Chain A
Amino acid sequence: MFNLLKKVRDTLGCWFSAARGVSCEELVRLLIGYVDGTLPAEDRTRLDAHFKDCAHCLSMMRTYRQTIDLSRGVSNNSMPSEVRLRLQRFLKEKIQER
């Protein structure tokens, strides 16, 4: 029952937001500018208003942002120590050659 009410609320919220000017589809298109901070202030305000009413778009924005944050850490510790050693040795020789 609670779930049903929640669903109705989310759906209604979504329709209200659309009436105010930005649809979910448009919001997702503008998400990159919103998250990277390059979106003009008036669009930002419209998106913020949409987030207040639409839980799905809020989830989309939060998980989109989290995806970017996680990507920043993915290259750490990717290089095996033997590759590191070989590279060091290789460059030492290169420097001595010159």
Chain B
Amino acid sequence: MARNPQNTDTLIEAVTRLQSGDKAALESILEQCQERLYYYALKMTGNPADAEEVVQEVFVTVLEKIGTLREPGSFLPWVFTTAKNLCFLKLRGRRKDQDATVSLEDYMPRFNRGHIGAVEDWSDRVESGALSKELARHLDAAIQKLPIEYREILLLRDVQGLSAEEAGKVCGLSVAAVKSRLHRARLFVRENLSQYLTGAGTKQASWE
């Protein structure tokens, strides 16, 4: 789960250089962060044009406010807090999207007097790290279906690799609250992948 320490080091280096007035360091920060910020904003807003604007505005903030960041090591939580606030501004005023109808409960494991129902092991059918286009599309759709308060945690913690403490800082939650939401979000995504990979699970959607 830990971030690649080497990458984090070069990011911190670039942040430190930018703080000391080296504008060229922004390019390195851009290279290391644009993709992840874009994906985060895209999943949060569900809209490519909004995502692009959010990333632009985040980097303007980086350029203008980098001096206010005390610890270069907390650059990522800082930058994702900025991104999060911008995403919520975009969402404000927009009508609630259809994913409000998804019930997490339908995707949680079932128990009978404490005993779990049948679970198929598909973990060997996919190579970790090697995400096929098709599987990536299903994973992507499952993340997008999550209610936003669960989605934001899964994006920060599992997709972006922030620590539970950092994710809590970004979302204004305790570590315990982060973990509890993350757990349910993971179980939801796991069940979605499970249904796709095993062809099992609730099929009512496809009958309609």
Contacts and interface: CB of A to CB of B under 8 A. Distances in A.
Partners in one complex: yes
Interface of A: 11, 14-15, 18, 23-28, 31-33, 36, 54-60, 62-80, 83-84, 86-88, 90-91, 94-95, 98
A26 B165 CA distance: 24
A87 B193 contact: no
B34 A79 contact: yes
A23 B109 CA distance: 13
Interface in B80-116: 109, 111, 114-116
Given A14-B115, A63-B122, A64-B190, A91 B35 contact: no
B131 A59 contact: no
B114 A26 contact: yes
**Interface SS, B side:** helix
B35 to A, nearest CB: 5
Contact of A83 (B38, B114, B121): B38
B115 A23 contact: yes
Given A28-B109, A58-B121, A66-B123, A71 B159 contact: yes
Given A63-B194, A73-B129, A78-B35, A86 B139 contact: no
Given A32-B183, A91-B30, A94-B63, A72 B121 contact: no
Contact of A70 (B52, B120, B126, B179): B126
